[in-house]
Structure 1
Amino acid sequence: MGIQFNSATGVFALETAHTSYHMQVDERGHLLHLYYGRTIGQGNLSALYPRADHGFSPDYYACRRERGVSPDVLPQEYTGCNVGDFRLSCLVVRNEAGAAGADFVYVSHRIESGKYALEGLPSAHAETGDEVSTLCITLRDFVTGLELDLLYGVFADQDIITRAARLRNNGTESLRLEKVASLCLDLPFGQWDLIHFHGRHAMERQMQRTPLASAIQTVSSTRGASSHHHNPFVILCDRDATETAGLCYGMMLVYSGSHRTDIEVDQNGSTRLVSGIHDERFSWQLKPGESFTAPEALLCCTTSGLTDLSQRYQHFVRHNICRSPYRFKRRPVLINNWEATYFQFNTESICRIAEKAASLGVEMLVLDDGWFGKRNDDNSGLGDWFVNEEKLPGGLKPLIERINALGMKFGIWVEPEMISEDSDLYRAHHDWALTLPGRDPAMGRDQLVLDMGRQEVVDYLVEVLSDLLRNNHIEYVKWDMNRNMSDVYSRALPPERQGEVAHRYMLGVYRLLDTLTTRFPQVLFEGCAGGGGRFDAGMLAYFPQIWCSDDTDAIERLIIQHGTSFGYPISAMGAHVSACPNHQTGRTTPLWTRAVVAMSGTFGYELDLGKLSEEECHQVRQQIETFKQLYDVIQNGRYYRLSDPSRQLRYTAWQTVTDTESLVSLVLTHPEANARPLHLCLQGLEEDALYRVESLRIYGTTSTPENGAADADAYAGAVYSGSTLMYAGYTLPRMVGDFPSVQLHLVRV
C-alpha cells in the first residue's frame, strides 16, 4: 500500500487497503487518468485506451499528422483550458491579453510521508505519523508560466484519497483565474447512478438517486454557503448497487462556500466528474509569484455497496476531519431555551427552565438568540455582542453562576458573521456589510452579511468573542448563520478583484474559527446555519457537531438524518426532543419516539420542560438514563440503514454495532389495519457469535403503556446467533397507534 512511481512507464500507483488509483505521464508529458477501483496491483493500463480518430475531436499539434491523440477523448487527471477538450474543464485562466488557455505537462513529483496542508483552508489530518503519505505532481503551462501542483493524500487503511490543487504564477504577467476545480475524475467505462442530497431550509439532505444521462448534471450552490439545497457530497454507483453490494465512488468537498459538481457522460460513454468552487461570479487575480489553492476533496471507492462507503466516510470525518477535543468525548445532554421562550425571557425565566432541567438529569443549559444588544426580535442587534442587561441584570455572570450552582454547564448562541442595520456596529461601520453600490440590498431575516474577507472585521470578531469566552464560564457555543449571500461586493477591494469576495469570505470565516477553536479548546462549538445550511466537512473541521436541521419534527428528522448518514457520522448530527404539537409541522408524536430519533444524534431537549406532566417528566429522566447507557453503541458503533424512508411507507429502521453490542431502532410511520409482521434482517454482526436480547422496548403504542412495553421482559434474555439475526432475521411485536417506536438492545455473549 502507499504510493509508487514506475519511471520506465511513467505510471503512478496509489494503493489503499482495497483500491488502486493509477495515472500515467504519457510520451507528450500529459498526465492521464488510467484507473480507480478495486485493487489490481501495479501495471501499465494504457492499452485500455487505444488511439482512434474521432470526428471533431482535435489532436495535439504534435500529433496532427498521425491523429487519434485528442485531449477530447483521453482520460485526464486535471484538464487544461481551451486546448481541444470540449468536455467539462477544471480551469479557466486568461492572460493580460484576454486569451484563455493552458496546457499542462509534467515537470516533477515528490512522494513524502505525512499529510500535506492547505493554506487558509481546512483539510484532513493524520492521527498517526504513518497512516498517510503525500504525492505532489507538478505540471506546468510553458506559455503562461502557470504551475499546477496536484496534491494526493493516501490514507491507505481508510480507503480514502484526498485531492487538492494549487496554482502558482511563475510567469511575468498577471493572470486571471475564472474557474479552479479541486479535482477531475474520469471513469471511461461503466454506467452509473448519481446519488445526491438536495433539499431546502428545514428539509435538508433528501437523498435522490437518478441514472446518469448523456448530458451534464449539476449539483451546486451559489449562496455563499454549502447550503440547505445541495450538499457538497455526491455518490456515483453501479446501476444495481445496494446497501451491501456494488461499486460506489464518493466525492466530498471540504468546503463551506459556493460549490459546483458537474457530471458529464460524453460521446464515448465516458463519465467525467469535476468539482470545486462555483465559478459563477468567481475570478481571482494571480500576479507573478502568487498562488491560489483550491479546497480539498475526499475520494472513496468501494465494491461493497453504500453502507461500506458511508461507514468509511463517517469514520474518516470523525477521526481525520474533526479536530475538536470533543470529537470522541461524551457531549452533555442539553436544554435549549429557543422553542420554549424565543426572544421573550429574562434571568428568572431561564433559571426556572434550568432548575426543572437539572431535576430531570439535563446537564447543560444553552441560552439562544436574544441575550445581547437591542435584541427583542430578529430585526436588530446583530453585531453588538454585549449583554442586554434589561433582560439579564448584571450580565451573564450572575446567570451562569446560578446555572453552575445547579450542577449544569452553560452554553450560548452567537451569529458572528451577520450584522443588523439597527445596530451600533452598523452605525459605526456600515461599509463592513456586503451591499451593492447604489442599490438597496436584499434582506434575509432583516440582516446583512459581514465582509469576512476584511482582516479588520475578523480581528473585531476575534476580540469581542474572545472577551465573551474569556470573561464568562461558557462551555458551549452554538454558531449560527441565518441568511445566504447576495449583493456580494466589498468596499475593501478594487473593481478587478470583486470576483474574489465570496471565496475571501470563506477564508475569513475559517481564519476566525481556527483562531477561536485554538484559543478556547475547552469550549464545545456547534455549527448551525439555519439548521443544516452548512453541514459539510469544512465546518466539521472546527465544529465536532452541527445542528442537523431547524425542523425538529421527529418524523421529518427520520428522512433528514437518513440522508445525512450517507456521508457524516451520528456524533456530528445535532438532534433534540422538541415540543408537540411540533412548531414546524403541527404534528404530535409520542415523547419516547421523539427521543429515539434524537438519540441518533447528539441528543438534547428544546421545549418548555415546565409544561410537561409528571408522567412525561418521568419519561425524560428515563430517556436521559437510557441515552447514557447506550451512548457507546450509538455514538461509536458502525451505522447501518435497515430501510429506505423514501421507498418504505411503513417504518424507518437503523442499527448501530460495536464489537460487544448492537442497538436496533425503528419508528413505525404508517400503522396499518391487519398489518403484516414487522420483520428485520440485521447487519454487521459476527455470524458465529451469540447475542442476547438485553432489552426490547416498545414506545408509544396504544397497546402498551407510554413509558415502554409492559411485556418487554418476555423478550429479554433470548439468545440468537449472529447468522440467525442477519439471515433469518428478527420479527418485532405488533404495534399500533400514532408513530410508535422500538429499541432492541443486543449484547454479545
Structure 2
Amino acid sequence: MIVTNSNVFLLQTKNTAYMFRRLESGHLEHLHYGGLLFPNKNDCLNHLDEVAAAVAPKHFNGAGNLNNYSDEHSSVMLEQLTLEMSSFGKGDIRDPFVELTYADGSSTVDFLYECHKVTDGKKPLSTLPSSYAEDVAVLDDKIQQLVVTLKDKEYGARLKLIYSVFPECDVITRSAVLSNESKEDIRIDRILSTCVDFNSPSHKFTSFHGRWADEMGKYESICSGGKVVSEELAAGESGSRSNPLVIVSSPSADDFSGDCYGFNLIYSGNHYEALSSNGNSMSRFVSGIQPVGFSWILAPGSKFEAPEAVMTYSDKGMNAMSINMQDFVREHIVRGTWKKKERPILINSWEASYFNITQNSLVSLAKEAKKCGIELFVMDDGWFGKRNNDNSSLGDWYENKKKLPGGIKELANKITDLGMSFGLWVEPEMVNEDSDLYRSHPEWAVTVPGHPHSKGRNQMNLDLTRDDVQDYVIDTMKKVFSSGKVSYVKWDMNRIFSDRYSTALAPEKQGEFQHRYYIGLYRIMKELTESFPEILFEGCSAGGNRFDLGILCYFPQIWGSDDTDAMCRVDIQRGYSYGYPASTIGAHVSACPNHQTLNTVPMETRFEVAAAGCFGYELNLCDMSEADKKLVSDQVEFYKKHRKLFQFGDYYRLPDNSYIIVSKDKTKAVAFVVEKNARPNNDYRCLRTVGLDDYKLYNMTGRKVPHSLKDFGSLVNTQTPIHVKQDGILHTIMDKVVNMSGEEQKETATGASFNNHGVALNSSFCGTGNNEGTRIMRTGDTRLYVFEEVK
C-alpha cells in the first residue's frame, strides 16, 4: 500500500516499509527502508508525521565545511541528508543519481518537489521492459504506483521518480523518467534507477562475478569507508564478469539471519552498482545504467526512461530475501504461455555433434532420446548457410540443404512423428564477415568506419540501433520459426562488444549506441515472442552470459553457463539462486570427461545437480551403453515425478553447498547433499532442513543411486576366494552380474524435528565394511532426499 499526506510518503508491503518526506526546501529526504513501521494499517494516516519525525536524523547544527543549500534554507546541507535523489552542484558530493549538462555548459542540477500521484495497478515503461501487475490483488492490498515529479526550475527539466509496490512478495521497484521541457538540448551524462541512503556506516556488499564458463561466483566486501563497485563497464551486456544482482546486508548476515537488501536491474546492457560510505554514519547504494561510455542528447519535448530497479528486504537472512526475489521474478517478470508451465526435458545436439550434423544423425539421436522418455529435441549450431565452423554464415538464416535435404520442415516432421517436440538454435544478433549478409550489408555490422575491428569468436555484432537491421532480424526469424513445427528456440549471443559505433548515429550521439542497441533488441524480442506465443524461448547468450531480468521479460528461461561440469555447476547455480528461480535456469547433463574441464563425475551426480533447473541432456546417447541409457531413463522418470517441485518450489540454500526445494503448500520437498571433499569415518553428517511445516509429519526417502563393483577397485579381493585383477576380464564379468545399488534410507519425523535438529544420514563407507545401509559418497558424489507429507 501507499499512504501519503503530501509531506510524508509511506510505501508498505506485507513485511517491509519504505518512507521518505518532503523538506521545506523541496528536497526528498529518505527516512527508512526495512521492517514494518505500521503493523496496524489503520494508524498510518493519523501518525505519519509523528513517525517520520521520530525516525528522521536530527540535524540542528552545521558540520564545519559543509555547504548551505541556499540563503533561504541555510540549515539544509545536502551532504548530511539521506536523499531519495542526488545530483552534483548544490552541496551533495556523494555518488549522484543524475548528472546533466545544460546548453549553457552548467552541470549544476537541482530537482525539487513539484507534485505526486498515486494510482492502483502499474503502468509499464514504454521503451524498456518492466515488471507487470496483471490481475494481482493479494492480502487485500492492491499493487500501486507512486509517481513523484521533481523540477529543476532553472532549466526546464522534469524528473519523475516512479515507485511500484508489490505487497505479496515484499518488493518495491523504482525507475525514473527525465523530460526536457526547455527549448535547448540537455545532455544526460548519468541517470540511475535507484538510490537508497542508510543511516549506518558499515554494510556487507555481496556481488556475483566470474568469466565465461565460470559465472556467478559469490564475493563479499565490508564497506565501512570508501566505495565498493560491481559493474559491467564496457562489455555491452549484463555479463559473466558481473551480474546486476547484488545484496547489501548487515556485516554478520548469512543465509539464515541478518538484515538483507536485495537489488536487481531490469536491463541487459552495461550496469553499475555501488555502495559507498563516508566512514562516519552514512552509506549510499545506487544502481542503474553504467555511466562510463554513456551519454544521451535529450532534445526539447523528449523524454528518457531509466531501467526499472528491483528492491526487497528481509530481516531473516539471505534465504528469505532470495525467496522474495524468486517469487517476484516468477510472478511479475516472466510472462506468457510458459510463465507457470512445466518446462520439457530436452536433448541438445551441441556436445553430441558440434557442427558435424546431418538429418540422419539428428534423427538417430532423437530416437534414442525418445526411448529414454526425453520430450524435446533441439538442433544446435551448424544447420544454416555454409556453417561448418564458427568462421562463417552467421546472418544467413537459410537451411544447409547438404545437411538437411528437406529443410527444417522435414526434420521437424520426423522429430514430431516420434512423439517429441522440436527446437533449434539461432544467433540473430551476430554476423560473420564470411556471409552473404555481410557482403550485402557491411554497414550493418558494428564497426568504426575506416578503422580495424576487434572480433570475438570470429564474428561481429549487428547494429540493432538501426530500424532496418531490426526489421531484417524480425523478418528472417519469423521465416525460420514458421518453416516447421518449432516448439523451442535457443537464442544465443556469443561475444561481447567492441568498437561501438553506428553509422546511423551522428558523432555527438555515439554515446547512445549501447542503450539504443538494447531498445532495438527488446523491440525484436517483443515482436517475436508475441508472434510465436507457444514457442519456449531460452536466452542462451553463454558467451556473453546475458542472464538478467530484462531478457527474462521476454524469454522465460536462460542457459546458466556453457560449463556443464557438475561440480562447477553446483557453485554457478547456487549463485543464481540468490535472485533467480530454478524455473529460469537451464541446466544439462553432459558427457564425461567433461568438455570444459575434463573432470569425471558419476552420471548420477550430473543428474542430481542439473535437476535443480530447466533440465535436459547434452551428450551423444547413440554412443552410450545400454546400462547408461537405462540410468538416463530412470533419471527422466524421477524428474518427471518431481518436476513441478524442482522448477517452482521455494529454493533454500543449506550449508556445505547443499539445498532444499519446498513446495509452496509445504507438502513435499527435495533436498540435495554434495560431497566435495570425502573423508573417512564420516558418521555424523546431519541434513538440517529449512522451510518444512513444523506441524506436519513427513516421510523422508533417500534416492537409491547405482554403484558398480568396479567402484571398489582391488577391494574386491577381500571378498573373493581367488585373486581378481582390477579392470580385468573377470572383474568386468563380475561387475555385470553383481548388483551394487546404493544405500536405502527412510525416516519419518515432524517438520519441526527436521528443521530444528535435522536427520542423521547413514554411516559412511570407511574401508572396513559395507552393507545395504552404508552411505557411499566419494568426492564428487551427491544424494537427493525426498520429503512427503504423511496424510
Q: 1:169 aligns with which of 170, 177, 180?
A: 180
Q: Give yes or no for the alignment of 1:744 onto 2:785.
A: yes
User: Which ranges of structure 1 fall in alignment gaps of 5 or more residues?
Assistant: 646-651
1:288 shift after superposition: 0.9
Q: What is the match of residue 32 of structure 1?
A: 29
Q: 1:612 aligns with which of 624, 627, 636?
A: 624
Q: What is the match of residue 249 of structure 1?
A: 261
1:394 shift after superposition: 2.4
Q: What is the match of residue 120 of structure 2?
A: 113
Q: What is the match of residue 373 of structure 1?
A: 385
Q: Partners of 2:739 and 2:506 in 1: how far apart?
A: 65
1:596 shift after superposition: 0.4
Write the deviation string for residues 604-650 of structure 1: whole angstroms up to 9, x where unpaired. Answer: 000001111111010000000000011122122111111254xxxxx
What is the CA RMSD across the aligned residues, in angstroms?
Answer: 1.8
1:699 shift after superposition: 5.3
1:662 shift after superposition: 1.1
Task: Point out the more displaced range, 175-184 or 239-248.
Answer: 239-248
1:409 shift after superposition: 0.8
Q: What is the match of residue 721 of structure 1?
A: 750
2:2 partner letter: I
8 A Cα contact 2:224 2:279, kept in partner: no
Q: Partners of 1:40 and 1:697 in 2: how far apart?
A: 50
Write the deviation string for residues 236-266 of structure 1: whole angstroms up to 9, x where unpaired. Answer: 1111212122111111000000011111101
Q: What is the match of residue 357 of structure 1?
A: 369
SS at match of 2:633: helix
8 A Cα contact 1:698 1:741, kept in partner: no
Q: What is the match of residue 771 of structure 2?
A: none
SS at match of 1:194: strand
User: Which ranges of structure 2 fall in alignment gaps of 5 or more residues?
Assistant: 39-43, 714-734, 765-775
1:686 shift after superposition: 1.2
Q: What is the match of residue 104 of structure 2?
A: 97
1:318 shift after superposition: 1.0
Q: Give yes or no for the alignment of 1:600 onto 2:612.
A: yes
SS at match of 1:13: strand
In the TM superposition, 1:6-405 aligns within 5 A as 6-7=5-6, 10-41=7-38, 42=44, 43-44=48-49, 45-46=52-53, 48-51=56-59, 52-63=61-72, 66=74, 68-130=75-137, 131-189=142-200, 191-221=202-232, 222-405=234-417
Q: Give yes or no for the alignment of 1:506 onto 2:518.
A: yes
Q: What is the match of residue 717 of structure 2?
A: none
Write the deviation string for residues 397-430 of structure 1: whole angstroms up to 9, x where unpaired. Answer: 1111111111111100000111111111111111
In the TM superposition, 1:420-459 aligns within 5 A as 420-459=432-471
Q: 1:431 to 1:711 in 2, by over 3 A?
A: closer
Q: 2:589 aligns with which of 566, 577, 602?
A: 577
Q: Partners of 2:77 and 2:242 in 1: how far apart?
A: 34
Q: Partners of 2:656 and 2:229 in 1: how far apart?
A: 24
Equivalenced residue count is: 736
Write the deviation string for residues 116-157 of structure 1: whole angstroms up to 9, x where unpaired. Answer: 210121111114254410000000000111100100000112
Q: Partners of 2:447 and 2:63 in 1: how far apart?
A: 49
1:708 shift after superposition: 10
Write the deviation string for residues 159-183 of structure 1: whole angstroms up to 9, x where unpaired. Answer: 1001000000011211100111011
Q: Among the aligned pairs, what percent are the same residue?
A: 40
1:501 partner letter: F
Q: Partners of 2:555 and 2:136 in 1: how far apart?
A: 24
Write the deviation string for residues 19-61 of structure 1: whole angstroms up to 9, x where unpaired. Answer: 1111111011111111111001243434532223123321112
1:379 partner letter: N
8 A Cα contact 2:35 2:315, kept in partner: yes
Q: Give yes or no for the alignment of 1:539 onto 2:568.
A: no
Write the deviation string for residues 247-293 of structure 1: whole angstroms up to 9, x where unpaired. Answer: 11111000000011111101533110111111111110111100000
Q: Give yes or no for the alignment of 1:553 onto 2:565.
A: yes
Q: What is the match of residue 648 of structure 1?
A: none
8 A Cα contact 2:221 2:228, kept in partner: no
Q: Partners of 2:295 and 2:543 in 1: how far apart?
A: 30
Q: 1:720 to 1:190 in 2, by over 3 A?
A: farther
8 A Cα contact 1:153 1:163, kept in partner: yes
Q: What is the match of residue 720 of structure 2?
A: none
Q: Partners of 1:700 and 1:85 in 2: how far apart?
A: 65
8 A Cα contact 2:202 2:224, kept in partner: no
Q: 2:761 aligns with which of 721, 726, 732?
A: 732
1:530 shift after superposition: 2.0
Q: Give yes or no for the alignment of 1:3 onto 2:32.
A: no
1:744 partner letter: Y
1:731 shift after superposition: 1.6
TM-score (norm 2): 0.91
8 A Cα contact 2:694 2:750, kept in partner: yes
Q: 1:700 to 1:142 in 2, by over 3 A?
A: farther
SS at match of 1:181: strand
8 A Cα contact 1:378 1:446, kept in partner: yes
SS at match of 1:257: coil
SS at match of 1:584: coil
Write the deviation string for residues 191-238 of structure 1: whole angstroms up to 9, x where unpaired. Answer: 311111111100111111221130111110021100001000110111
8 A Cα contact 1:193 1:239, kept in partner: yes
Q: Partners of 2:179 and 2:201 in 1: how far apart?
A: 35
SS at match of 1:471: coil
